[in-house]
Amino acid sequence: MDLPDVTAKPFHDQAAAVRAMGSPFVAAVLDAVGRQLPRAPLTCARVAGWPGDEAADALAMRVAGALHAFARTGEDAALTRLYRDREGDLDRTIGDALARADAFVADWIRDPPQTNEVGRTAATMAALMVLRTHHAMPVALLELGASAGLNLNLTAYAHDLGGVRAGDAASPVRVAPDWRGPPPPAGAIEVATARGVDLHPLAVTQAGARDRLLAFVWPDDAARADRLTAALGIARHAPPRVDRGDILAWLPAQLARSQPAGLARVVVHSMVMQYLSPADRATVDAAMADAGARATADRPLARIAFEWTPARDAVRLRLTIWPDGRTIDLATCHAYGAWIDWRGEG
């Protein structure tokens, strides 16, 4: 029996989006969830009574992540086999798994996805290269919604940005998006300090946290899983600094801290603003504008945003630089950084 449209629709809509992004298996899983969710009454009730915006809260991807996590435990042999082989009786296997793991899934989806996709560091690195043409100095990174903080380690990864190399060439983490358009301006990036914040930061030293991150990688994208595993290996030896806290309190406090001359302060966020209310996004904007008003040429401020457009029809990379406050639309990007359509400063 199908769910009422009001409940099944987010899964079918997300399936179409995921299929367009290149993951037919996850799309098929999401379609099956839309048909089979009544077999999981706890999860079904939570989905049907979801208090927020289902799309903005990535509700369907929360359920997809929960099923992948359950498959990785090996407790359901048929589900584990389905995820390994990516073929079989999808509806029966997904339905049986939902019934068996109902409490697990209902609990898992309380928290938002924790992708911490290191592929997005290509966009951040390219934006930092543009910033360097305006202010050639080391940067102090402040990341909002940092998850496990893997993107704070971006200089430890080997980047190929349209032929421009950056980071550590010997790194086991290779970030080489399909680059469209001219390359970014080449230049070495020095990160003097890096610190992030998250409501629910994941400690890379804990196996459960690593498992949660891997569960949100599409099972039919082995390259992403391998890259994430390599990034986790680096982070275990060089743990990123991520504070547990609320962006709305943490950001103004960080921006109020003393900033040495010759250091560019850079606030970075990727796929985070969708989880904030319009009022909270306005609070972030106001904090940035207030700090920007205090910025000077030798103590500049920048904001790198890798976020959906308001219409959620594209992911846009934008760079704002103070003291002049100019915003540059640098690129349109794949949501996980697989490709970057670069415009630069135009």
Detail the DSSP E strand segments found in 146-190.
Answer: 158-161, 164-167, 174-175, 178-180
The residue assigned the tokens 């349209």 is 162
pLDDT at residue 1 above 60? Answer: no
Question: Assign residue 86 a region: left if phi > 0, alpha if psi is -120 to 50, beta otherwise?
Answer: left
* Domain definitions of the chain by residue range: 5-108, 118-342
For 113-148, the pLDDT digits (tens) are 888 899 999 999 999 999 999 999 999 999 999 999
The answer to whether 284 and 157 have CB atoms below 8 angstroms apart is no
pLDDT at residue 6 above 90? Answer: no
Q: Which residue in 51, 59, 43 sits closest to 106, CA to CA?
A: 43
Q: Model pTM?
A: 0.84
Using CA atoms, how far apart are residues 285 and 99, in angstroms rounded to an integer? 44
In sequence order, what DSSP letters do the residues of 190-239 get, joined into one string?
A: -EEEEEEEESSPPPTTSHHHHHHHHHTS-TT-HHHHHHHHHHHHHHHHS-
Per-residue burial over 220-234, b if 16 or more Cβ lie within 10 Å, else e, is: bbeebeebbebbbeb
Is it true that domain 118-342 has CATH number 3.40.50?
Answer: yes
Using CA atoms, how far apart are residues 224 and 119, in angstroms rounded to an integer? 8
Using CA atoms, how far apart are residues 140 and 169, in angstroms rounded to an integer? 22
Among the listed ranges 94-103, 161-170, 271-280, which one has the minimum average pLDDT value?
Answer: 271-280
For 43-53, the pLDDT digits (tens) are 999 998 999 88
The answer to whether 232 and 150 have CB atoms below 8 angstroms apart is yes
Q: Residue 341 in 3-state DSSP?
A: strand
